[in-house]
Amino acid sequence: MSFTIIVTRDFDQMSAVAAGVVEDDLRARLAEQDEYVLGLATGSSPTGLYKHLAKAFNSGRIEAGRVRSFNLDEYVGLPGENAQQRALHPQSYSWFMVSQLFGLLNPPLRETSVPWGTLVDQDELVAALAARPDWVEQRGTDRGVALSISPDARGVLGTVRDEILAAYERKIAAAGGIDLQVVGVGGRGHVAFHESGIPFEGSRVMLVRLDDDTVANAVADGHFARATDSPRYAISMGAELVHEARSVLLLASGRRKTRPIEEAVLGPITPDVPISYGQRYAAEGGVLTYVLDETAAAGLLARAEEVRALGHELRDVRDEPCTRVSDLPFHPGAGGQVC
């Protein structure tokens, strides 16, 4: 089954179009069900989207009290004497969500959840990994790997397995699964902290040792002064779990995203480009939409005939001052415009 690729002029138009997709889906589903479960991402790509959503929630166009959210990932190893200090660290994803969305809402969402990476003390984790390597299987073919913890593990590792990883997945399931998941894409095609080379099979909520490239990008983006300041581990939803959402909305802007976007759409389905899992998801009936600025979309625009030959809809809205929400691919007929 095909998916939809919407090409926009720039970050602002990308954000507005994406907001229309999310708001349209929220309205349609909340007309049919009591609650909505929204999957959220961090990073620069969704920040504009979140400003639009805050306005929609605060104006009452969407009932915030009927929406629960789950985030994709969180660092392990931020500075702090305890979990509270780590959660309030300015580079934690928990703090990012407060500053970019949660703290802007009045009334707030019914409930928000970010993976519980700040509960883990990195020094204790590293010591436990060194003490019992037999309790851990490294899954991955590159520098970033998922650490699969044995059922026999006890102590810190058993707690991470049961109370951090498995518990987060259980909480998503108890909420009924995610209705729409917002994702970005990393420079090597990773989704959340599902790093390049980590297998798709069994990629649920994972403990990940981060790729050197991921750490380097965090430094280049100004999040940390140097690589030694950056956490080396994270808790992350994997591509398999991400794509159990009923709809997936991928945002990408800028030159660093051009190549992985092209590979994800036109290349093979491979763990080397984790976001390529979207091809499998769409083929199995999932509703997948890309909203890209023209720089991120450059590779696809240059190969537009190949994109369309695969059955994908490639919609160029760069010249449109406004895009009708009802023209977008989720639930036609909800009406409204985003400009």
Q: Are strands 205-209 and 111-113 parallel, antiparallel or unpaired?
A: unpaired
Q: Is residue 74 included in any domain, yes or no? A: yes
| Cα 226 off chain centre by | 25
Q: Which helix (H) or strand (E) holds 8?
A: strand 4-8
Digitized pLDDT (tens) for each residue of the chain, 339 residues in all:
689 999 999 999 999 999 999 999 999 999 999 999 999 999 999 999 999 999 999 999 999 999 999 999 999 999 999 999 999 999 999 999 999 999 999 999 999 999 999 999 999 999 999 999 999 999 999 989 999 999 999 999 999 999 999 999 999 999 999 999 999 999 999 999 999 999 999 999 999 999 888 899 889 888 999 999 899 999 999 999 999 999 999 999 999 999 999 999 999 999 999 999 999 999 999 999 999 999 999 999 999 999 999 999 999 999 988 654 444 444 333 444 555
Side chain identity, residue 252: A
Q: Is residue 266 part of a domain?
A: yes
Burial of 178-209, coded b for 16+ CB within 10 Å and e otherwise, reads bbbbbbbbbbbbbbbbbbbbbbbeebbbbbbb
> What CATH number is attached to the domain comprising 80?
3.40.50.1360
Element (H, E) at 168: helix 167-174
- DSSP-assigned beta bridge partners for residue 64: none
Q: Is 162 a domain residue?
A: yes
CA 103 to chain centre: 20
Residue 98 counted as domain residue: yes
The CA-atom distances, in angstroms, between 44 and each of 64, 100, 291 are 23, 10, 14
Residue 339 falls inside a structural domain = no
Can you give the pLDDT at residue 2? 81
SS3 113: strand
231 is a domain residue: yes
Tell me which residue of 10, 9, 26, 12 sits closest to 249, measured CA to CA: 26
pLDDT at 153: 98
Tell me the chain's radius of gyration from C-alpha atoms: 19
Q: What span, in angstroms and rounded, lies between the C-alpha atoms of 301 and 59? A: 37
User: CB-based contacts of 145: which residues, under 8 Å, 6+ apart?
Assistant: 138, 139, 195, 197, 198, 208, 209
Domain count, the chain: 1
Is residue 14 included in any domain, yes or no?
Answer: yes
Q: Is 88 exposed, middle or buried (CB count within 10 Å of its CB: 0-12, 13-18, 19+)?
A: middle
| Tokens linked to 228 | 């030694």
Helix axes 47-58, 11-30, angle to 10 degrees: 40
Q: Any idea what DSSP says for residue 163?
A: I
Residue of 177, 176, 180 whose CA lies nearest to 27: 180
In the numeric block, which tokens belong to residue 117?
């990476």
- Cβ atoms of 8 and 319 closer than 8 Å: no
The answer as to whether 149 is a domain residue is yes
Strand pairing partners for 205? Answer: 237
Cβ-contact 274, 236 below 8 angstroms: no
Instruction: Characterize 103-131 residue by residue with b for buried, 16 or more Cβ atoms within 10 angstroms of its Cβ, and e for exposed.
Output: ebbeeebeebbbbbbbbbbbeebbebbee
d(CA 267, CA 261): 9
d(CA 206, CA 237): 6
Global pTM?
Answer: 0.94
Domain that holds residue 208: 4-334
Q: How confident is the model at residue 338, as a pLDDT? A: 53
pLDDT at 323 (0 to 100): 53
